Amino acid sequence: MQELINKIISKTGISAEQAGQALDTVKEYIKEKFPMVAGAVDNLFAGDKATTTSGAADSSFLDKISDVIPGAMGEKIEQFAKDNAGKAEGVIDTMKDKLGDLLGGKK
């Protein structure tokens, strides 16, 4: 989870606390809209199991999806996420703009 928080911080320039709150908001939103994957979302974002002592992740965030959701469905979701990762960058940029507006113009 720290890897994703660090990415949000680097993309938006917001504080670690704000990035954590933004990530928590996104997690809760996903769980509300897609309750059938709530457990998977919790497992996916549980702790920093894949980080080393240097803080670098042993595997990417997207590679963990099929670990959390076993079988063919997990593999399909993982592949979909990888195929659409570029679109996520656009979402992060939009979040940056919206959060900046909410935080008084800080970007």
In the predicted model, what is the mean pLDDT of the chain? 73
Q: Residue 38: pLDDT above 70?
A: yes
Greater confidence (51 vs 96) lies with 96
Instruction: Categorize the per-residue pLDDT at 2 as very low, low, confident or very high, splitting at 50, 70 and 90.
Output: confident
Nearest to 93 by CA among 106, 81, 82, 107: 107
d(CA 84, CA 69): 18
Q: Residue 104: pLDDT above 50?
A: yes
| Residues 2/24, Cβ–Cβ less than 8 Å | no
What would the DSSP string read from start to end of 34-101?
A: -GGGHHHHHHHTSTTTTB-TTS-BSS-TGGGHHHHS-HHHHHHHHHHHHHTHHHHHHHHHHHHHHHHH
Query: Stretch 37-63: mean pLDDT, rounded?
Result: 58
Residue at token pair 């469905």: 73
Residue at token pair 């909410």: 102
Instruction: Categorize the per-residue pLDDT at 59 as very low, low, confident or very high, splitting at 50, 70 and 90.
Output: very low
Q: Residue 51: pLDDT above 50?
A: no
